[in-house]
Every structure is written in structure tokens, then in C-alpha cells.
Amino acid sequence: MVSYKYKSGYVVYDDHSNKIYLSDSQHSNKNEPYVVSDAVCEYEELCAPCTLDEILLTYISSPVCNMKCDYCYEKESFKSGRAVMTAEQHMNVYLQTLKTFPNANVAITLFGGEPLLAKSEILYFLETLDKHCEENSLHMPSVAMITNGTMVDEQICDMFNKYFNGVTFSVDGFKEAHDKYRKYNNGADTYAHVHQNISRLNSSKTFKTACEATITSAFFDDYSFATVEKIWDTCKELQFSTIEFICVFGNDCEDFAIKELDKLDRFAKDLVKIWCEHVMNDEHVIKIPRLVNFLALLSGNKTLDEMRCSAGYSNFAFDSNNNIYPCQGYVGDDDYLMGKVSESGLEFFPTKKGVISKENFPFCKTCVCRKGCSSFCYVTMKEAGDKLPPSCLFNQMIFKHFLLAFVEIMDSPNKSKLVVGAKRLVNA
């Protein structure tokens, strides 16, 4: 149970029952639960059970990158001894997966490094895959990519439109923040090229694009609410349907590290404010996954409490050495090498792990926002050790400010707008 100051009293949230109370006391929930029943939405499932019905294949298409971001989490072990994956290797992973999981739907994500450094191999792979599926009466797998956006030319635009279901671009919110730490290998700025390339793609795209923004100290240079407005306007201009924020702290001596948590908390509050305004007033609002989840939790009792980590269970990452890892976060870590791709299928070592759930981690057991959290990640929790991972800290800030904003809106004439916006957004 947690309480937050609200007007002359407190908002008390019972994380076990998912009930909200308005109370005069910081530690009391003796009042009747705050009534939101008329706001309950019939949502579709937010998080499907972790099953083997769908297998996600993450290809490390290229282990190297044409950029050198100060905060990049990929260590030298990620790149060492690895080459660009050939088209044949890409295709073989797919074929061997079908042997191992013959009844599963397969989804593919192309990752790096910068995957488009392997664009000729990727294009040939997708042409071969498309032909194979047509000749064998198979559905073409869902295909996605995570890219820095610097290499999107006309040929890549055509490839995206023909084969892809979604592309995520790494864009750090706005020009000044992006260019401070996201540089080419020669030190040159990248934002102008990325902006130009995405704009070119938007003139003809047939799929949804998303943004992955890393929050750094650059967000807080001369910070004001206008900073959040600038991020929002950039995402709308570039036609992103979703934006995900990644919080990286680093060491205190590192320039990009967020050292003042009060500024991060203010950013969380301002982000909640602008997003709620758009949910109530815009027909096409940008999704922020953690906020969509919290909205569904509080207005529709849609819980993610049983969310599982699919890494190493139905999610696998592959490199050019035919190695199998639980996900891209483990590539290069021999302690988590879990198998090899062979001609007879995916051969897993005896150490292949089972499903990891929130129940395995003390952070999750005691976290007030666990029922609406989709940021659960074994990699980040393992690396954090005894400290609360940055993603969890930011999530808790977002939850606090959204809970207060939700109660305030439901107590206002805007209540009906939020209900309509919630149904439209979550079921989109």
C-alpha cells in the first residue's frame, strides 16, 4: 500500500486489491474505495500468456554500428568475434526454428549494432523468405527492426514497405539531446540525417513506426515543461505511433548520467500531464506503453501481475556464429549461451532455463506498480544488483504522477473524455 499527498488529504493505493481510496490519513484506507466503476473499459488482452504459440527470433544482423553513443550498453564482448550475418544464416535460423517449434507463429526482429550495415544480406534474406512462404503456403512472419535511422535510403524505404510490420527508431526526443550523445563514429552529429530519413519514409510508409528515446542528462539542460512539449512535437512530426523511454543512469562521473532525481521526477510528472491531455483531446494519440498499461490497470482493472519474461523460453537471439542466447541483452555473455543452430533444428544445452516471472525478484514482489508494469527485465535487474534498476525507479515515478492525475481527472468534468480516450487508445 502506498499514499500520496492530494489536495487536503491523500490518495491511498492498495496494490494488492488494485483499489484507490481518498483518505484524510496517510496510512488509512478505511473509507470506501474511490468509485471508478463507470469508467471501466472492456479492454482486449494487454499481455498474452508466455507460451510457445509465438516464437520471437532476434537476429544480430550486424554486431557493429556506424555510431558511437556514449551510453551504449553493448559491450566489446557483443562485437568480438562476430561478423555480419549472411542471408543464408538468417534463413537457416528461420527454417531450423520451424523444425523445433513446428506449430508456432514466428516473428522476426532485426537488431544490431546497426542492422542496416547488413542491408544487402537482409534484403536477400527477406526476398528468399517471401518466396519460401509463398511456395509452401506459409504465412509470412511478422518482421520488425530496431535501427538508428541514419542509413534509410530509397531502397530501404521500399524494403520496409514491402516486408515490414514495424520499425523502431532510436531518437532521443529532440535535436539538442539527441546530438549531445548520439554521434557518428567520427564525432559528427546524427539528428539531421535521421530526421531527413524518417521524413522521407513517412511520405510513403505502409506500417507503424515507433521511437525509443534514452533519457540522459541532456534532457535537463535548461529544463521546463517546454522540453516535454518539444519531445511530443518531434514525435508527432515524425509520425511515431509509440514512444518508449529508456532510463540510463551510468556512473556519476559519466556526463550522460542523471544525477538529480528531482529533475527526473519532474519530467515524469510533465510527461504524464501532456499525455493525459492528448488522451482526452486527440483522436490519434501516441502510445507510451507504461502509461497505457497504468491507464488500463486503474480504469479497467487490467493487470500484468502475472507477466513472464519470455527470454530463453519463446524469445531467442542469434549471432553469426550460430549461437543462441535468451535475448539480445545476453549476446556475448558466454554464461548465458544456451545452444547452437544446427541442421536438425535449434539444439539447446541442458541449462536451458524456464520462464522467469515477477515472483522471482524481491523488487517486483514489493513494488507498488507491479500490476501495471511491462518493464520487467531480467537483464536490467541482474545488472542492478541490490539497487533499484533505473527503469523501475522511473516506472514508480510515472505511476505516482499518473495515479494522482487519474484521480483528479475522474473528479472533474473531463471524466467522460478520459473514458472515451482510454477505450480508443487501449483497444487500438
- Per-residue pLDDT band for 16 (boundaries 50, 70, 90) equals confident
What contacts 331, CB < 8 A, 6 or more positions away? 60, 63, 78, 317, 319, 323, 325
Closest CA to 245 of 60, 397, 408: 397
80-90 pLDDT, tens per residue?
A: 667 999 999 99
CA 125 vs. chain centroid, Å, equals: 26
If you compute the radius of gyration of the chain from its CA atoms, what whole number of angstroms results? 22
Q: CA 381 to CA 392: how far, in whole Å?
A: 9
**Angle CA 132–348–50, to nearest 5:** 75
**pLDDT value of position 37:** 40
Least confident of 48-52, 225-229, 299-303: 48-52
Mean pLDDT of 112-119: 96
Q: Which pLDDT value is given to residue 48?
A: 43
Q: Mean pLDDT across the chain, nearest whole number? A: 86
* Three cell numbers, residue 108: 522476426
Of 61 and 421, the one with more pLDDT: 61
pLDDT digits (tens, 9 = 90+) for 144-192: 999 999 999 999 999 999 999 999 999 999 999 999 999 999 999 999 9
Q: What is the pLDDT of residue 50?
A: 46
Q: What is the mean pLDDT of residues 280-289?
A: 90
Distances (CA, A) of 343 to 89, 95, 161: 11, 9, 32
Query: Inter-axis angle of helices 191-202 and 154-163, to 10 degrees?
Result: 50
Quote the cell numbers at residue 2. Answer: 502506498
Q: What is the pLDDT of residue 351?
A: 60
Report which residue type is found at 388: L
- pLDDT, tens digit, 9 for 90 and up, residues 307-354: 567 788 888 999 999 999 988 888 888 888 889 999 999 998 876 555
Task: Compute CA distances 412 → 30, 129, 148, 425, whole Å.
Answer: 24, 54, 42, 20
- What is the signed CA dihedral for 373, 374, 378, 384, rounded to 10 degrees? -50
In this predicted structure, the answer to whether residue 284 has a pLDDT above a threshold of 50 is: yes
pLDDT confidence of residue 45: 43
Give how far Cα 334 sits from Cα of 109, 323, 379, 397, Å: 22, 10, 14, 35
Element (H, E) at 408: helix 390-410
Best CA proximity match to 264, nearest among 277, 275, 253, 248:
248
pTM: 0.91
For the stretch 260-278, pLDDT in tens is: 899 999 999 999 999 999 9
Give the number of other CB atoms < 10 A from CB of residue 83.
14
* Residue extents of the structural domains in the chain: 1-35
Is 44 a residue whose pLDDT tops 50?
no
Beta strand residue intervals within 217-310, DSSP E: 242-247, 308-309
Where are the alpha helices (H) located in 12-118, listed in sequence order? 76-79, 87-100
pLDDT at 383 over 70: no
Whether the CA torsion 281, 285, 286, 292 is positive or negative: it is: positive
Confidence of residue 385 (pLDDT cuts 50, 70, 90): low
Residue 112, φ and ψ in degrees, nearest 5: -150, -155
Bridge partners of 143, per DSSP, are 108
Q: Mind listing the pLDDT tens digit for each residue in 220-251? A: 999 999 999 999 999 999 999 999 998 877 77
Q: What is the pLDDT of residue 150?
A: 98
pLDDT, greater one: 244 or 427? 244
Provide, rounded to the nearest whole percent, the portion of the chain with pLDDT above 70.
84
Convert the pLDDT of each residue in 93-102 to its tens digit: 999 999 999 9
What is the rounded CA–CA span in Å between residue 118 and residue 324?
19
pLDDT reading at 78 higher than 70: no
Query: Three-class SS of residue 170?
Result: strand
Q: How high is the pLDDT of residue 31? A: 62
The set of cell numbers assigned to 300 is 479497467
* The predicted structure's pLDDT at residue 305: 58
For helices 415-426 and 289-300, give the axis angle rounded to 10 degrees.
120
What average pLDDT score do residues 105-110 get?
96
